[in-house]
Amino acid sequence: MNYKGIVFFDYDGTLADETEGIYYPTHATKEAISRLRQNGYLSVLATGRSLCYIPDVGVDFGGYVVSNGSYAEADGMEIYQNFIPTDDVKELVDAFENMGLFYSMENQRKCYAKDVNEPIFKAMIDNFNISADVFQNLNEGELPDISKLLVVYSSLDEHRHLSEMFKDKFTFAMHRKYLSADVQPTWINKSVGARRLAEYFDINPENIYAFGDGTNDYELLDFAGHGVAMEYHADVLDKVCEYVTDTVKNEGIYKALVHYGLI
């Protein structure tokens, strides 16, 4: 299918805002994204979440860039997928175990937790309104194909220690409002999957729009011809966004799409 352009949307903090009790896109946001498709644009959910725990939010996205860029699909077709080398996953897991940290691992079909009954794990997924049903315990000695890991800290010192230990291999992207982080190869970010979709559909950056709020949206907004930051956003996004819209609660998505004349 031919598209006029692509519009990428982060989820947590952009389409939804758990700090305001808004766990799903508002009616105005859903209507706006629906009109995008009618107007010839591909709407893409670009999130740190994997496919297996993206909630049914009532939005008919045409594509997905998930696990922070490790996987991309559009119109029901897989366009790109990356797995972390098994030896590197094992190295991370050994470090987490030695430090006594909780961790989980994900691919697009399944998510694995060190212990699904661990209170710190339950608190973390409750914070993001993620169902525990998508996770299963990791069997001893089992190491499936993995796109992303997640680690939960008890202190920022642990985050600093791991970031320094693996600085040449992995990034530890801290989550909003919670002492946890996504763990992926240094070269993986949302723009990796986004570029694959742009190349597949032959869409130039000037016809690409990206919405985000966090540090893991930096490369995506930098890649897009039009980077849009939500009102509450990480300071680093000021370097790459050309427009700052309103909050989730105040219909920032709808307002920005109108601002750009896309709806």
Domain boundary among 158, 185, 212: 185
Q: State whether 60 and 117 are in the same domain.
A: no
Give the model's pLDDT for residue 86: 94
Q: What is the CATH number of the domain that holds 245?
A: 3.40.50.1000
Give the model's pLDDT for residue 141: 66
Q: What is the CATH number of the domain that holds 111?
A: 3.30.1240.10
Q: State whether 38 and 123 are in the same domain.
A: no
What are the φ and ψ backbone dihedral angles of 142, each rounded to 5 degrees?
-85, 135
- The rounded distance, in Å, linking the Cα atoms of 190 and 68 is 5
| % of the chain residues with pLDDT over 70 | 99
Q: How many degrees, rounded to 5, is the angle at CA 174 between CA 129 and CA 91? A: 105
Q: State whether 144 and 179 are in the same domain.
A: yes
Closest CA to 74 of 107, 35, 30, 43: 43
Contact yes or no for 221/237 (Cβ under 8 A)? yes
Q: Mind listing the pLDDT tens digit for each residue in 103-129?
A: 999 999 888 888 888 887 788 777 777
Q: State whether 169 and 204 are in the same domain.
A: no
pLDDT band at 62 (very low <50, low <70, confident <90, very high): very high
The tokens for 102 are 């909780």
Print the domain residue range for 134.
Answer: 86-185
- The rounded distance, in Å, linking the Cα atoms of 217 and 219 is 6
pLDDT band at 66 (very low <50, low <70, confident <90, very high): very high
In terms of DSSP H, where are the helices of the chain?
Answer: 27-38, 86-99, 119-127, 156-165, 190-201, 218-223, 252-259
Count of domains in the chain?
A: 2
Contact yes or no for 74/201 (Cβ under 8 A)? yes
Q: State whether 234 and 167 are in the same domain.
A: no
Q: How many degrees, rounded to 5, is the angle at CA 177 between CA 221 and CA 33? A: 45
Q: State whether 63 and 193 are in the same domain.
A: yes
Q: Mind listing the pLDDT tens digit for each residue in 180-211?
A: 899 999 999 999 999 999 999 999 999 999 99
pLDDT band at 136 (very low <50, low <70, confident <90, very high): confident
